[in-house]
Every structure is written in structure tokens, then in C-alpha cells.
Amino acid sequence: MLLRPFARPLFASWFVAEGIDALRHPAVHATAGREGLAALHGHVGRLPGLSQSLDRALTTVTDTQLGLVVRAHGAATIVAAGALATGKAPRTAGLALAVLTVPVVVASLPAGRSGGEAEALRRRRFWSSVSALGGALLAAGDLAGRPGMA
């Protein structure tokens, strides 16, 4: 299909922008990640094993450690997006982007129904991340005319 060489770089651009932003502003992403874990804790707080794990993650991980994880995540996202954009192992890159987008979705979980401007921004970011996750899954499953494993 003639559309793939144009569509893949366009789709990958969102991931590249997110990765660059994570590298340049890790503190903002780390704060969002911590808030996302807290929101996830609120959603699944009744599950005993997961609740304890989230409690440990929220209390034992320092801001420096979280910033390093955010930067590594941003770099991995840029690499995977670059591979998708250039057509190098596009299904593997799509799968990697899908896996890398899950923490972004979790970090963007709406915390509640406060209705403020920050919550509206979080909700938009959440749905944008969910959309990107769906697109990455489509890219991972795109056979581009070549047979798959099945």
C-alpha cells in the first residue's frame, strides 16, 4: 500500500514528541507518573497484593530514580518510534510502542471528577494516550502484505 510510507512517520511523530518531552522535562513526567500511580491505587485499592505493591512504589522510589526511569522510557520511545517511522522492523517497533505506551496511559489516569482545568487536561492526555496505544497495536499487527506467524 502506498499509504504506509507516509502514515508510519506521521503516526510515529506523536511518540517522538512524547519521548523528547520526557527527556527534556523528566520532573514533569515523573510527577505525572506518581499521580497516575496514586490514581491507579485509588482504582484498585481493594486488591490486596496489588495495593501493597503500589504502596511500596509510591513510597520507596525517589524523585531522582523516577526521573531516570522517565528519561530511559523517553529514549526507548524515541528509538522505537524511529524504527517505525523508517520501516525498520515495523511490527516489532509497533509492539514496543504499545508496551511503552501503557505507563503513559497509567500516568494519565484521571484521578477523579474534580472538573478542574488540570483534570480536563489529564482526561485529554489519557484519551490521547489510549488512542496512541490502539494505533501502536494496529501497527504491531500490520502484515503489510507479508505473511505472519500464524
**Domain boundary assignment for the chain:** 4-141
Q: How far apart are CA 137 and CA 99, in angstroms?
A: 9
pLDDT score recorded for residue 125? 86
pLDDT at residue 51 in the model = 64
Does 47 or 5 have the greater pLDDT score?
A: 5
Q: Write the pLDDT tens digit of every residue in 29-85.
A: 888 877 777 777 666 666 666 666 666 666 777 888 888 999 999 999 999 999 999
Tens digit of each residue's pLDDT (9 = 90 or more) over 11-41:
999 999 999 999 999 998 888 877 777 777 6
Nearest to residue 15, comparing CAs of 68, 65, 80? 80
How far apart (Å, rounded) are the C-alpha atoms in residues 101 and 142? 18
Model pTM score: 0.81
Q: Rg (Cα) of the chain, in Å, rounded?
A: 17
Q: What is the 3-state secondary structure (H, E, C) of 63-121?
A: HHHHHHHHHHHHHHHHHHHHHHHHCCCHHHHHHHHHHHHHHHHHHCCCCCCCCCHHHHH
Number of Cα atoms under 13 Å in the Cβ half of residue 146: 10
Distance CA 44, CA 38 (A): 10
More confident residue, 97 or 88: 97
Listed ranges 70-84, 96-110, 120-134; the one with the highest mean pLDDT: 70-84
Output the pLDDT for position 58: 67
Residue 7 is predicted with a pLDDT of: 86
